[in-house]
A and B are shown apart, each in its own frame.
Chain A
Amino acid sequence: MPGTATPEVLPDIGQDEQSRSRDALEPGYLVICWNDPVNLMVYVTHVFQVVFGWLRQKAERHMLQVHHEGKSILTRESLERAEFYVHQLQKYGLHATMERDEP
């Protein structure tokens, strides 16, 4: 049918897939460690070193930020990487979550 314009509307499912794959790739998630009164400071430092491969100095800086400010943003990652890091931190019993980095 010449002259008839067909609007290109992607089905919803396509949009979902698009946004999921965008989420999976873009570093739009923050991995946050929250303060609690139970985990030992030296233990938290150790966990940061093991999970992120950080040197002791950097791990201690983040641990102290958790201690003094109530939380520390440890890294900004894609959905999948953020999820991976939260899993690792929670395996060690730390209070860690991932939150969307809202503009």
Chain B
Amino acid sequence: MTLVNAEGENYQFRLSRAERAVLCALLKKYPLIPLSHHRLTRAPAAQESANQMLLEEVMSSQRTDFKERVRQLVSSRERFQPEANLFRVTFSREEMEWLLQVLNDVRVGSWILLGCPDPDEGRPPRRLPGHDRAEVDMELAAHFEWRLLEALHGPVDHDPDARHSG
């Protein structure tokens, strides 16, 4: 996926048929992060508090909204304009923002499915039946996140070590 043009609040990308298929498949996996993963505080006593419940409500509401946006995007014939063997698609600044959140949900959710592996801590990925693609999905989601972030901020560091902070 390559940025072709950025004008005002709109970003036009060119992507191959395969990239479009992969992007749409990733987006359709949303949401992957379990609601119970979101914790307002590390204090154990607060887990059942009204504030914690409010956080889960906020996350649930966002999910419903983003799921509908994803559905509309991937089912729209007009959004991806064919051009020879490629497609052109234009995203607004607002769309870029929710696409980043959706893709990152797929990345983090895949990581959770793998048992939250951490090479620095010597914790390898846990491979469970039915989640064979989780590692691949993590990397593919990162690929598209990079592309969107590059469009917004200019070239970014693709070094695999330029990760884990957050």
A residues with a Cβ closer than 8 A to B are 33-44, 46-47, 50, 56, 63-64, 66-67, 83, 86-87, 90-95, 97-100
Asked if A37 and B41 sit within 8 Å, CB to CB, the answer is no
* Contacts A42-B162, A93-B166 supplied; 14 other A-B pairs, CB < 8 Å: A35-B166, A37-B111, A37-B164, A38-B108, A38-B111, A38-B138, A40-B149, A87-B55, A87-B59, A97-B42, A98-B40, A98-B41, A99-B42, A99-B43
Residues of chain B within 8 A of A90, CB atoms compared = 38, 55, 59
Asked if B142 and A40 sit within 8 Å, CB to CB, the answer is yes
Asked if A42 and B149 sit within 8 Å, CB to CB, the answer is yes
Residues of chain B within 8 A of A97, CB atoms compared = 39-42
| Total A-B contacts with CB atoms under 8 angstroms apart | 111
Residues of chain B within 8 A of A39, CB atoms compared = 104, 107-108, 163-166
User: Nearest 5 A-B pairs (CB), nearest first?
Assistant: A39-B166, A67-B165, A44-B166, A37-B164, A38-B111
Q: Scan B130-166; emit 1 where CB is below 8 A from any A CB, else 0.
A: 0000000010001001100100110011000011111
Which residues of chain B from 85 to 124 have a CB within 8 Å of any chain A CB? Answer: 97, 100-101, 104-105, 107-108, 111, 116-121
Q: With A47-B166, A63-B165 as given contacts, are A91 and B62 in contact (CB-CB < 8 Å)? A: yes
